[in-house]
Amino acid sequence: MKRSLLITAFIVILVLAAVTLTISLTSSSEVMGTQADEEASDVPFWKTSIIYQAYPRSISDELPDGTGDLVGITSKVDYLRDLGVGVVWLSPIYESPMKDFGYDISNYTAIDPIFGDMDDFDELVARFHEHGLKVVMDFVPNHSSDQHEWFQKSVRREEPYTDYYVWADPKGTDDDGSPIPPNNWLSVFRGSAWQWNEERGQFFFHQFLASQPDLNFRTPAVREDMQKILTFWLDKGVDGFRVDAITFLFEVKDLTLNEPEVPGSEDPDDYASLNHIYTTGLPETFPVIRDWRVLLDQYPDKLLMLEVYSNNMETLMKYYGNETYPLGDFPFNFLLIDHLKNRSELTGESLRTTVGLWLDNLPKGKWPNWVLGNHDVGRVASRVGEDLVDALNMVILLLPGTPVTYYGEEIGMLDTFISWEDTQDPQGCHWGPDHYQEHSRDPARTPMQWDESKFAGFTTANSTWLPVNPNYKTLNVAAQILAQTSHLKIYRELAVLRREEVFMKSNVSFPVITKDIFTFMRHLESYEQYLVVVNLSQKPVEVNLLQNTTQELPQKANVVMRSITDTSENTKPGMEVPLDKLPLTAGEGMVLTLSSEV
Ligand code: GLC
């Protein structure tokens, strides 16, 4: 009797020890990216969806006047559904003088006529919802347009608007008798962030254009108005918001403080020449985000994503909040953009580090996201190479987390050359004809390339707001639908694949990382195991994945999909390939399933 008790106790201890060992091995070799125990029905929509950024001026022009519009976007609902995206984020469509193409809002609850009217918007939401697509709005709280009635009234000191903006007296006057700004703060778009207003006899602050005065979030009425605006759109049925420029929301109260100069900077007008300790990332920002979160949570299942640029992980992660004080569902993960600016910075090792940086710093219970491009940076295919288009889509669509795709990146659109004369972007214009190309955001904002007809099928008007990329004859949606293999087809397949439970629930591990090779594995007990392999070098390689691996891998695997650059007869989807001699073309990505016996 005693003996059998002892044996039972011994077995229990053994089992417990084995369980503990397994858990600790798992957490040391894998990066937690998901909450495996989450029930599918409880999972918010944005965790299982791809987010697609639609830049409204450039999707489709149905009105037609050369600039895209809401009816145009609605007309693409089937395309978006077939693409497999679940959320469409619309860059600003509000009434605006368009000095910063909609990021300068003159009425937060009206649609700009260039995009259509409120009926067009309601129709868009209704049609998207019918097709199972969510609609997320851009929300620009940091600044309005100088044409907004709040600003006009603030200039005239009409209550309650007197303190709606950040006003300051001059520091003095210069030799010519002109007023001197209160401090050295700079605008993101170059030059002083202070603009003199003759009528009010004070300077006002603008982090961006002088026609985008900063709202004063220290004024409670401003915060209340912003809540009302969010409520207006939530009541209309939108599914969430992307918050613009959130790190710029507050400045220190003491407007006499100068920001420290970055040592060695030569251009005193360049935003990068100062260290922005008094004008970005102030702690007062978080309670404001919290108020928005609380408001959104009064509605079922709403998404809040935040535009935060920072090279400090701790700072970035603060925007998630924590389990008891949730803030944004996520701050955008721009690390793939910031850290991997060009091909020479992109290696298996640098990609592993960059991916790990987000996953390893993620607060408990929070969700990752991956961004390859947006309307503020060059297109990913131009930054790092066309040959990597499929591979990078495999990475962002198959890693744990939510991918964000900028329109056109599913077909591998490239930056378009825009002459100085055609340049529209204020950021480009401010740098002048000699330097605009380094700063203009126009090249990545050109019309979507739908087909090979005039203006790429974007419009029937006689011109377009930005030129269409001349490569549209061959690089377009219609051609990629017809082609046997294409970026678009790979993207669609990936969108289907990522819905499999293993991608939704499993952990990720990185078995082989070298200078050339990046791999990751998604595995969940009793599910098929997937291995994604990317060759980041600019030459074909034959790689031995059984060497230098941190995990035991089988001898062979089956190809699920491969980049379109690979036309080999030996690595076609469905084929078995040897993992000790895996051939990959330059920039190729390959998705494999592993045989169960290792
Ligand atoms: C954000 C937008 C950018 C805009 C700026 C000012 O960074 O993404 O396009 O110019 O805010 O609103």
Most ligand 1 atoms within 8 A of CB, residue of 376, 377, 404 to mutate = 376
Ligand 1 atom 3 nearest Cα: 376
Q: What is the whole-number distance in angstroms between the Cα of residue 244 and the centre of ligand 1?
A: 6
Instruction: Find the 103 Cα to ligand 1 centroid distance in Å.
Output: 6
Closest residue to atom 4 of ligand 1, CA basis? 103
Ligand 1 mutation target, pool 57, 103, 148, 215, most atoms within 8 A of CB:
103
230 with 241: CB under 8 angstroms? yes
Centroid of ligand 1 to alpha carbon of 412 (angstroms)? 23
Return the ligand 1 atom nearest residue 441 CA. 9
Cα(144) to centroid(ligand 1), Å? 12
Residue 257, pLDDT above cutoff 90? yes
Give the C-alpha separation, 508 to 479, whole Å.
Answer: 35
> What pLDDT, on the 0 to 100 scale, is given for residue 444?
98
Q: Whose CA is nearest to atom 7 of ligand 1?
A: 245
Q: Does the pLDDT at position 560 exceed 50?
A: yes
The listed CATH number (3.40.630.30, 3.90.400.10, 3.90.1570.10, 3.50.50.60) that belongs to domain 149-205: 3.90.400.10
pLDDT above 70 for 84? yes
pLDDT tens digit string along 37-62?
444 468 999 999 999 999 999 999 99
- Provide mean pLDDT across the span 421-438: 96
Burial of 201 (0-12, 13-18, 19+ CB in 10 A): exposed
Q: Which residue has the tokens 């020890």?
A: 17
64 C-alpha to center of ligand 1: Å? 26
**Mean pLDDT of the region 303-316:** 96
At residue 597, the pLDDT reads: 52
Model confidence over 322-336: pLDDT tens digits? 999 999 999 999 999
Cβ distance 155 to 197 under 8 Å? yes
pLDDT in tens, 370-383: 999 999 999 999 99
| This model's pTM is above 0.95 | no
Atom of ligand 1 nearest to the CA of 427: 10
pLDDT at residue 28 tops 90: no
**Window from 72-76, 363-367, 525-529, 539-543 with minimum mean pLDDT:** 525-529
What are the catalytic residues? Answer: 244, 307
Given strand 556-562, what is the order of strands in its sheet? Answer: 507-509, 517-523, 529-535, 589-594, 556-562, 576-578
Q: Is the pLDDT of residue 36 over 60?
A: no
Residues 208 and 248: their CA atoms lie apart, in Å, by 10
pLDDT of residue 595: 73
Q: How far is the CA of 79 from the centre of ligand 1 (A)?
A: 27
Helix extents (H) in 30-54: 45-48
| 61-91 burial: b if 16+ Cβ within 10 Å, else e | bbbbebbbbbbbbbebbebbeebbbbbbbbb
- Of the candidate ranges 19-28, 37-46, 104-113, 264-273, the one whose mean pLDDT is the lowest: 19-28
| Residue partners of 12: CB distance under 8 A and separation at least 6 | none
> What is the architecture, at CATH level 2, of domain 4-37+48-143+220-414+485-491?
Alpha-Beta Barrel (3.20)
Give the rounded percent of residues in the chain with a pLDDT score beyond 90: 90
What percent of the chain stands above pLDDT 70? 93
DSSP string, 48-115: HS-EEEE-GGGS--SS-SSS--HHHHHTTHHHHHHHT--EEEEPP-EE---TTTTSS-SEEEEE-TTT
Atom 9 (ligand 1) nearest CA: 376
Beta carbons within 8 Å of 54's beta carbon, 6+ residues apart:
73, 88, 89, 90, 91, 407
The number of the ligand 1 atom at minimal distance from the alpha carbon of 189 is 10
For residue 414, report the distance from its CA to the centre of ligand 1, in Å: 21
Determine the average pLDDT of the residues in 402-414.
Answer: 98
Confidence of residue 526 (pLDDT cuts 50, 70, 90): confident
Least confident of 48-52, 156-160, 484-488, 548-552: 548-552
Confidence of residue 596 (pLDDT cuts 50, 70, 90): low
Summarised one tens digit per residue, pLDDT across range 218-246 is 999 999 999 999 999 999 999 999 999 99
Atom index in ligand 1 nearest the CA of residue 143 equals 12
In degrees rounded to 5, what are phi and psi of residue 51? -100, 130
The answer to whether residue 133 scores a pLDDT higher than 50 is: yes
For residue 241, the CA-to-ligand 1 centroid distance in Å is 15
Strand order in the sheet with 167-168: 167-168, 202-205, 194-197
Q: What residue ranges line ligand 1, CB within 6 angstroms?
A: 100, 103, 140, 208, 244-245, 307, 375-376
Is the fold of 4-37+48-143+220-414+485-491 the same as that of 149-205? no
Query: What CATH class has 507-594?
Result: mainly beta
Q: Where are the domains of the chain?
A: 4-37+48-143+220-414+485-491, 149-205, 507-594
Q: Which among 57, 90, 100 is the best mutation to test ligand 1's pocket, defined by most ligand atoms within 8 Å of the CB?
A: 100
Q: What is the pLDDT of residues 116-128, one digit of tens each?
A: 999 999 999 999 9
Q: What is the pLDDT of residue 506?
A: 87
Task: Inform me whether the pLDDT recorded for 27 exceeds 60.
Answer: no
pLDDT of 353 higher than 50? yes
Contacts of residue 41, defined as CB under 8 A and 6 or more positions apart, other chains included, come to none
Q: What is the mean pLDDT of residues 286-293?
A: 98
Most ligand 1 atoms within 8 A of CB, residue of 244, 279, 309, 439 to mutate: 244
The mean pLDDT of 173-182, rounded to a whole number, is 96
Q: Residue 41 has what pLDDT?
A: 61
